[in-house]
Amino acid sequence: MKRWSTKTPRIEVAAGPGRTGRAIFSFTDDFSVFHFSKMPDQIPGKGEVVARMGHASLKALECAGIHTHMIGFRPPRAMEVRLVNVLDPAERPLGPGDTARLVPLQVIYRNRLGPGASVYRRAAAGRVTPADLGLDVLPPPDAPLARPILEFTTKLETIDRFVREDEARAIAGLTPGQFETLKAMTLEIDAVLSRHAAARGLVLADGKVEFALDEDGALMLVDVAGTPDENRFVLDGIDVSKQILRDFYHGFGLEAEVQRLAAAGVPRPLWPSPPRLPPVLTAAVAELYRALCERWTSVPVGATRTLEAAAAEAVGTLARVAVQPVAAAIT
């Protein structure tokens, strides 16, 4: 787990070679955007929201036949999970015989490309083409795609890096059949969560998932899914997820600054601190998260507004406090 993870693990039984362990993940109110590390503020109640939504989503996925690492939910903000080994492919190539271990990839699925999607920037820079994504041309922002796009990033590097499928296969250390199963599982996860979202008036625009091999070499979903951290949900054209926090920090040039610092090899502890969230935006996002959780799980967590009202308030607050995008504005 990265040092800047927003989960705190407590190891109950350590994993070992070819053997899973057991851990309790406690979800904190911390958040991170653009791989910066933990941001200087917290979103009150966020940990409970992510834990409850993640639990509900993993239950739905298990009912659909998706193998996950979840053992049980520890209300209000913890989850008991199977613990796997983390083997770094930078140290040695991984293979399918390395069981009970993380697959060191993130798999991103996209049903729509948001206005700020990295696909547009990478395409403009010539790093990806529509054909690479199975498209003839790039669609306009937020247009529904005929079928989901799958992309892959590294997981254990300082900054997650997009990789083509052939490199992803090499990094994963899976058999060809296992890799095809990984893609099929991702599409099924997308389908299950998209149906869950649609039944609640939401659009699942995109998401990311992570996998591991269990002791028998079977793929299982790890971390969580179906949360505002892992997914971009849209309600009547409004983003109701962590995207609102990304949008705020995009105005300060944080994404470009993180890329610059990483490329320059500046040690993460020496990275300058980004601006604090305005308290009014913190409060608006906290209420948005609570309302989203109640819509997703039907479990009360203290929301005082409907999701529609909370979304409108969050967007209005962002408009009042946002700055125009600038480059390298962190001090």
3-state SS class at 260: helix
What letter would DSSP give residue 85?
Answer: B
CB atoms within 10 A of CB 122: 15
How far is it, in rounded angstroms, from Cα 44 to Cα 30? 9
Tell me the two tokens of residue 228: 């505002």
- The matching CATH number, chosen from 2.10.109.10, 3.30.470.20, 3.40.50.150, 3.50.50.60, for 7-111+148-321 is 3.30.470.20
Tell me the two tokens of residue 277: 């969230």
Report residue 94's pLDDT band, with 50, 70 and 90 as the boundaries.
very high
- The per-residue pLDDT of the chain, averaged, comes to 93
Top pLDDT among 191 and 268 is at 191
CA 94 to chain centre: 24
pLDDT higher than threshold 80 for residue 327: no
- Nearest CA to 239 out of 123, 144, 149, 318 is that of 318
Contact between 80 and 22 under an 8 Å Cβ cutoff? The reply is yes
pLDDT digits (tens, 9 = 90+) for 188-216: 999 999 999 999 999 999 999 999 999 99
Q: What global pTM score does this model have?
A: 0.93
Contact between 294 and 303 under an 8 Å Cβ cutoff? The reply is yes
Tracing tokens 């993130």 back to the chain, one arrives at 106
pLDDT digits (tens, 9 = 90+) for 164-193: 999 999 999 999 999 999 999 999 999 999
Task: Write down the H helix ranges in 40-124.
Answer: 46-63, 118-124
Which pLDDT value is given to residue 252?
85
